[in-house]
Structure 1
Amino acid sequence: MEIPDLVRQELGDEEIRGGVNLGDEDAACFTPTRTLVYRGEGLLSDEKVASYPHDFERLTVSEGRRKTKFSLIYTSEKLELSVPGSRGDAVLERLLEGKLTVAGGIDSDETIAGVFRFSELTLVVTDRQLLKHIGNVTWDADYEAFSFDDVTGLEFEEGSVATAVVLSFNDRPERIKAPSEQAPMVRKTLEEALFAFHEVESLADLNAKVGADPEDGADNAGSGLGLESGIDPLVSNDDEEGEGGDDHSAERESAAPSKQTATASAGEQGTTTEATAETQSDDSVSVQSDTESVEPDTTGDPDIAELEAQVAELTAAVEKQQEQIQKQERTIKQLIKELRQGR
């Protein structure tokens, strides 16, 4: 990904450790201490860069139909970042990596293998440990860490709506319920990380090496900590952080209708211009067909000559109008696109 010049100017002595393309010219660039979000120049905004430090206290995620919104709560302020929904997981992984590095939760050379969110549980799998956070926010200081050095067994119990991951640490099982649609990726990520750490090639080899008996692990699984409630979305679109967020929620609620109105108006205008263009195009074809069918010699009739001149002038005007309509259509499409990107 090419780094915009404006981002380079903001970097200072820092280096970029990763980036996520947010569509068109927009991008999120991640340094060890902050996230720099670049927004390209558009009809509604100028080129700019926003900075989001990684020393936030809490992180909340709200997923919409097209966008994912991150709320970063600091000691004295709250910052919000919206990205396309398809880029939400990649941005979340990088944000948590930056937060955990700054807070000392992971080493600077430790890499994150995957981040998973279901119900009120967030899991972070690195190449050395499993981090678990339970709560109505996606992340804060209240999380648990389990080192792969202490693993004594791993099992998977498949169900109709969820798969139970039973991961034992020092013979104490941690029971985690993963929705069926996410369970295969959770299993793949955990197995790959643990196999690489313990230098084994299969689940049987892992359990044999760490000394776990699969039958004993199944018997003791019920004593582990886990989520027995149904699987619900972590954060709904209507649930927002209450602390310091009321003013921002009101602003977003007041801004949302205007955006929807602008989008609807733009769509109606686009429809009207298309219909006008088709009508004028048909008129132009009709006029041209009429002029081509006039074959008699009209050089001696001043009235017919004047009519021909008027037709030619009308044809030129219609063509000019068509060019203007096409230009307006391009502008409207760009406007709708930028409104959808949240600019």
Structure 2
Amino acid sequence: MSQPEIVQSVLGEEDVVSRVHLGGEDELFVTPTRTLVYRAEGLLSDESVDEFSHAAERLSVSEGRRKGKISLDYGLDGTKTIGLSVKRLDEALQPIIEGVLSAAGVIKDDESVVQSFRFSELTFVVAERRVVRHIGSAVWDEDYESYNYNDVTDLAFEDGSVATTVVLTVDGRQERFKIPNEEARIVREKLSKALCAHYDVGSLEEFRVMMAEQEEQEDAEDARDNTDFGEGPDPLSANPGELADEPANGTRAGEEAQQTESQTVEATSTGSAAAETQSVQTPSKKVADASDLGFEASGFEPPSETADPSAELAAEVEALREVVEAQTEQLQYQQELIEQLIEELRRGR
């Protein structure tokens, strides 16, 4: 799909990694280093492109019933906000999170985000090589935790009545956090698949078998490395001539040599350290669903069973004819302007 000329001029040689339709002709373009928001010409503004660098210290999100905001905090350089419909919020947020994490060095330049999740004050990001977790009102800031898959030795999920606990074993310790049950299935699928792909195994069961085999091999290598046999017995240094002349001394030397050869040394081995459990619990996601208007609230009254359908239909047709005749071209034009204005306001202009 072609890009508006004004967007091409701002992009230069930079590639677009994600493109999100914001409504109307407005679009959001995400590159590895920045996000561009294109606004088509409308009643409230001319055609324009706004730039948002991914080198932000903090990323936060707020949403109302219709509008949402993605805010990028640049410290002393201030904060810039992207306004958009809540229907497009999650779709636009995903590539922006990836760009911000890459710019901050949390993930590698060639590493992509599989999926990000927001559960109340818990943000959980599944990337190709690690899991990134942040607790707080912001989606991300410098107070985050990252767990590289190279350090993960086990992954389990504990079902609960309201929430599911994700148990991630990292460097011998357990990291635990809760997610709502309604999101547990997708989190389980994305995280398990990313971890198994990293280790090139087909399932979590295969992953656990591989980890057990590696642990056994490491224990065996540690046992061999810690075994010490010393320098061994001293060689006999008796003079053959002396042995012939002094048999008593020779007999004593033979006995001493026999005692020396029968000596042994003990081998020591090291045990494994016990795992320390750390429990982290986070609140469940609060879901606020807007209610649809019921049939009764529409103001429409169904026709009575005893009413004459033909008479009511004739009355409705006559009323419609009067309305149509009363409308003018000027009113139609004004109506179009009003509708366009409402649509632009909904898109967050």
TM-score, with normalisation over the residues of structure 1? 0.70
Is the partner of 2:161 in helix, strand or coil? coil
1:175/1:221 contact within 8 Å kept: no
Work out whether 1:282 is the aligned partner of 2:282. no
Work out whether 1:164 is the aligned partner of 2:165. yes
Q: In structure 1, give the amino acid aligned to 2:43.
A: L
Tell me, which stretches of 5 or more residues in structure 1 are unaligned? 213-219, 235-277, 286-317
Work out whether 1:223 is the aligned partner of 2:272. no
Q: In structure 1, give the amino acid aligned to 2:65.
A: R
> What CA distance in whole angstroms lies between the structure 2 residues aligned with 1:336 and 1:87?
17
Is the partner of 1:125 in helix, strand or coil? strand
The C-alpha deviation readout for 1:152-200, integer Å capped at 9, x for no partner, is 1111111121111111112211111001121111111101111211112
1:166/1:221 contact within 8 Å kept: no
- The two structures, once aligned, show a CA RMSD in angstroms of 2.5
Distance 1:2 1:182, change over 3 A: farther
- Residue 324 of structure 1 corresponds to which residue in structure 2? 330
Distance 1:171 1:19, change over 3 A: same
Instruction: Note the 1:206-221 alignment, pairs <5 A.
Output: 206-211=207-212
2:180/2:285 contact within 8 Å kept: no
Is the partner of 1:181 in helix, strand or coil? helix
Q: In structure 2, give the amino acid aligned to 1:174.
A: E
2:22/2:85 contact within 8 Å kept: yes
The C-alpha deviation readout for 1:243-276, integer Å capped at 9, x for no partner, is xxxxxxxxxxxxxxxxxxxxxxxxxxxxxxxxxx
Instruction: Give the aligned length.
Output: 259
- Residue 17 of structure 2 corresponds to which residue in structure 1? 17
Q: In structure 1, give the amino acid aligned to 2:281.
A: L
- Residue 307 of structure 1 corresponds to which residue in structure 2? none
> What CA distance in whole angstroms lies between the structure 2 residues aligned with 1:198 and 1:341?
43
Work out whether 1:336 is the aligned partner of 2:342. yes
> What CA distance in whole angstroms lies between the structure 2 residues aligned with 1:107 and 1:137?
22
The C-alpha deviation readout for 1:281-300, integer Å capped at 9, x for no partner, is 42787xxxxxxxxxxxxxxx
Higher RCO (C-alpha under 8 Å, 6+ residues apart): 2
- CA offset at residue 4 of structure 1? 1.6
The C-alpha deviation readout for 1:62-105, integer Å capped at 9, x for no partner, is 12212221111112211111122122122222112111221222
- Residue 31 of structure 1 corresponds to which residue in structure 2? 31
The C-alpha deviation readout for 1:16-60, integer Å capped at 9, x for no partner, is 222111112111111121111001111111111101011111111
Work out whether 1:203 is the aligned partner of 2:204. yes
Is the partner of 1:182 in helix, strand or coil? helix
> What CA distance in whole angstroms lies between the structure 2 residues aligned with 1:196 and 1:159?
27
Distance 1:284 1:55, change over 3 A: closer
Work out whether 1:42 is the aligned partner of 2:42. yes
- Larger radius of gyration between Structure 1 and Structure 2: 2
Is the partner of 2:328 in helix, strand or coil? helix
Distance 1:28 1:40, change over 3 A: same
- Residue 237 of structure 1 corresponds to which residue in structure 2? none
The C-alpha deviation readout for 1:291-319, integer Å capped at 9, x for no partner, is xxxxxxxxxxxxxxxxxxxxxxxxxxx6x
Distance 1:283 1:199, change over 3 A: closer
1:153/1:211 contact within 8 Å kept: no
Is the partner of 1:52 in helix, strand or coil? strand
